[in-house]
A = this chain, B = another copy of it.
Amino acid sequence: MPETVEIFEMGPRDGLQNEKRQIPASEKIALVDLLSSAGFRRIEVTSFVSPKWVPQLADAAEVMAGITRAPGVSYGVLTPNMKGYDGAKAARASEVAVFASASEGFSKANLNATISESLERFVPVTEAARRDGLPVRGYISVVTDCPFDGPTPPASVACVAAALRDMGCYEISLGDTIGQGRPETVDAMLAAVLDEIPAERLAGHYHDTAGRALQNIDASLARGLRVFDAAVGGLGGCPYAPGAKGNVATEKVALHLAGQGYATGLDMDVIGKAAAMARSMRGEKDV
């Protein structure tokens, strides 16, 4: 039996959040419902953030209410603060996530807070989640390169990762938000983080801006990571990171992993359909 590697589907949230066209909730719901039959164990649906920050996801509650939940699939949402957490809980999210930056420059731009301030905000969220029995995932942005501060010191990533772990995050997703990581820098970053957290509790979240996401996944596989974030159709990007092209495509990662003998258990017919749906949602021609 081949070893399993899990892809955590990011399309509906990280994939769509920066689209300029306001995508109707019905389209988002259709995408999530399609993804629910693809074989994913976890799908990130939306983000309960201020509509001022991410207008695209202002319909978070409506989307969560509209999806048809499949057995065995966890529907996650981002929750930057208690207001977001309350919304997520009311929307019956299966799990929530908090997100910190590994660099001060990106933290300031993306969260309007220092790293410490952002971590403090998450404490009540993670405490409430623990009381409510909701798993919390932690994201860390710009784990190798920051558009404002330059290369990110591996120790900074390890430090933030440890803080998120201490708050109770069951898994830390390490994000190369601007897709500038290289296998060497990813490896050095992982070496530092692994001193704090075992590979089983880490995930790689690599953007494909420079076409190196698969190489960075390989570097992470070599370090023992077995969970990777991706978005069908290669959706996404980052408004605060000029030139960031988007999440690595789920279909690309799945075929690549299979090529190395790992099984993702994803259904090619559904993934292909979802990738086309996602691309058409952002006005791209199916190719």
Contacts and interface: CB of A to CB of B under 8 A. Distances in A.
A275 to B, nearest CB: 6
Interface in A244-268: 251, 254-268
Contacts of A262: 269
A276 B259 contact: yes
A271 B265 CA distance: 12
A273 interface: yes
Contacts of A153: none
A286 B258 contact: no
Contacts of A222: none
Given A267-B268, A269-B264, A287 B2 contact: no
Nearest to A276: B259
Contacts of A257: 272
B269 A265 contact: yes
A115 interface: no
A82 interface: no
A260 B251 CA distance: 15
Contacts of A261: 273
Interface centre among A258, A264, A270, A271 (most CB of B within 10 A): A258
Given A260-B276, A276-B260, A271 B287 contact: no
A6 to B, nearest CB: 13
A36 B216 CA distance: 31
A258 B287 contact: no
A23 interface: no
A113 interface: no
A194 interface: no
A286 B256 contact: yes
Given A251-B268, A254-B269, A264-B269, 4 more contacts: A258-B268, A258-B276, A259-B279, A259-B286
